[in-house]
Each structure stands twice: as structure tokens, then as C-alpha cells.
Amino acid sequence: MAIENDIVDELALRLDTAELDAAPIAKITDDYPEMDWHDAYAIQDALRARKEAAGVTIAGLKMGLTSYAKMKQMGVEDPVYGFLTDYGRVQDGGDISCARLIHPKVEAEIAFVLKQDLIGPGVRMEDVLAATDHVLPAVEIIDSRYENFRFDLKSVVADNTSAARFVAGTTTRPVAGLDLASIKVEIVKNGEVVASGTGDAVLGNSAESVAMLANLLGVRGIALKAGTFILAGAITEAIAVAPGDHIEARYSDLGAVTMRFTD
């Protein structure tokens, strides 16, 4: 590690406070440019530990940077990952308060729920499909804690990959007979289609993203457990939202997910 453990804990506190107070901060690499990837995940781990110590339950995991083009642009070889919280879960059709967020954006994703453990490294897409109980449509609401959306990737990882809220749909499907790569998605904002994409935008197939997650965790000796809820990565670009906005994400074969943003 390039930074000391007490600094890791201080930065986790800084990020946690920024989220809970909805008060943006400068990106942490401004103060600690020597931060490496190990430091970034150590801060994320410390942030997770703080939340669990405060009684928060981890509701799932998420992948980010799941486009090959984006990874090349950012100069990295692997996606990034983070965790989801129980307080971040919003019911389909529910309201989301913008007052508790900084600059929220929505992304349409496919979520996986496992029926078997996945233990990397060496997990393949076929292993993920065999271990999946069902998939369902989902929208992630990301919300970077950094001022003016100014950040670098190490700061994003430390900030739990901008995780904030998520909404899962009620339509569940087994993966057998489902072509994940060809699922079409549209984000409709206040009645207007503002983003669209297909499932192959996520590493060619969202199941490939889950395999990468299993392998990234496996290197750290962590298994993906049966029952885990996983957001596999954004199919669409992130769309900014504000109070008064109504969002519907429509999926071929998987139904729709809706939410409203309030003051």
C-alpha cells in the first residue's frame, strides 16, 4: 500500500460523511496522488466496514466500467466493483428523494441472483449461467460524492463506484432460453426515450461481467455466495435526473422498472 492504514480509515470516514450529508468533496487523489489500486479498494473495504458497524446490511454487489471501449479509454484491463446497501434499495414504482443525493444519474442494468456459489479465479460465463437462479431488470442510481463530477478511477473505486440507490423489477426469468446479449433496453424520462442499448454492451454478455466479478473477488479469497444479488453493469449511458422526473426502463423479455424523483 502507498498510504497508511490511519489515512485509509480517515478517507473512508470522509466519503461516508459526504454520502450521508449529501455534501460533495474534492476527489481524494488531490490530497493523496500516490494512492494505488490496493489503497482504493482498501478504502472501499473500510467504508463498507463502517457502514456494517453502523447496522447497515449489504444487499448485493455491483460492477462498473463494464465496456471494453471504456476500459481501453481509462487504461485498465478489468472492470471495477462495489457493494449495494439495504438503505439503497427502492421498491419498483417508488419515490427517490433528491435531497439525500448530490448529482444522481440512472443506468439500466441486468441483475443476477445466484443459486450456487461461484469461486474464482477461473470462473467462465458458462459457470455463471449454470449458477444463476434468475435474472431481472434493474436501474442503478449512481451518485458520485465528488464535486462537479470531477474524479479519477481510483477515487471512484474508493467511493464505492458511486453506488447510491437501486430499483429491481418484479419480472424474473431463468437464463435458460434467454439471450442476454440481445435484450433491448430503453430509458424513458418523462415520456421521452433518452437512452437505449442492448445487453451485449456489457462485456458482450452480462454473464461475462459476473464471471469477472467472481474472478476479481477470487483473487482476494472471497467467494460469490448463493443468493447474492449482482448488478452486472450499465447497458445504457448514465442519465441525469432531478426532482419531478419520472423514469421507466423498458426491457425486451424482462418487463419494465419505474421510479419517481422527488425533492
Which residues have CB under 8 Å from 169's CB, separation 6+? 92, 136, 137, 138, 251, 254, 255, 256, 257
> What confidence score (pLDDT) does residue 72 get?
77
pLDDT tens digits, one per residue of 96-141: 999 999 999 999 999 999 999 999 999 999 999 999 999 999 999 9
74 or 82, which is more confident: 82
Q: What is the pTM of this model?
A: 0.97
- Residues 95 and 207: beta-carbon distance below 8 Å: no
> What confidence score (pLDDT) does residue 244 get?
98
Percent of the chain topping pLDDT 90: 93
> What confidence score (pLDDT) does residue 117 get?
98
> What confidence score (pLDDT) does residue 69 get?
72
For CA atoms 123, 164, 107, 37, the dihedral sign is negative
Helix, coil or strand: residue 141 = strand
Side-chain-side CA neighbours of 73 within 13 Å: the count stands at 8
DSSP class of residue 61 equals: E
pLDDT tens digits, one per residue of 144-187: 999 998 889 999 999 999 999 999 999 999 999 999 999 999 99
Percent of the chain topping pLDDT 70: 100
The Cα 232–Cα 118 span in angstroms is: 15
> What confidence score (pLDDT) does residue 100 get?
98
Phi/psi zone of residue 170: left (φ > 0), alpha (ψ -120 to 50 degrees), beta? alpha
> What confidence score (pLDDT) does residue 233 get?
96
pLDDT at 71 over 80: no
- DSSP E strands: which ranges in the chain? 58-64, 80-85, 89-90, 95-97, 105-114, 132-142, 163-168, 184-189, 192-198, 229-234, 239-240, 246-251, 255-262
For the segment 210-233, the average pLDDT, to the nearest whole number, is 97
Cα–Cα distances (Å) from 167 to 84, 111, 123, 212, in that order, read: 11, 10, 27, 23
| pLDDT band with cut points at 50, 70 and 90 for residue 77 | confident
Phi/psi zone of residue 177: left (φ > 0), alpha (ψ -120 to 50 degrees), beta? left
Mean pLDDT over all residues of the chain? Answer: 96
pLDDT at 78 over 90: no
> What confidence score (pLDDT) does residue 1 get?
77
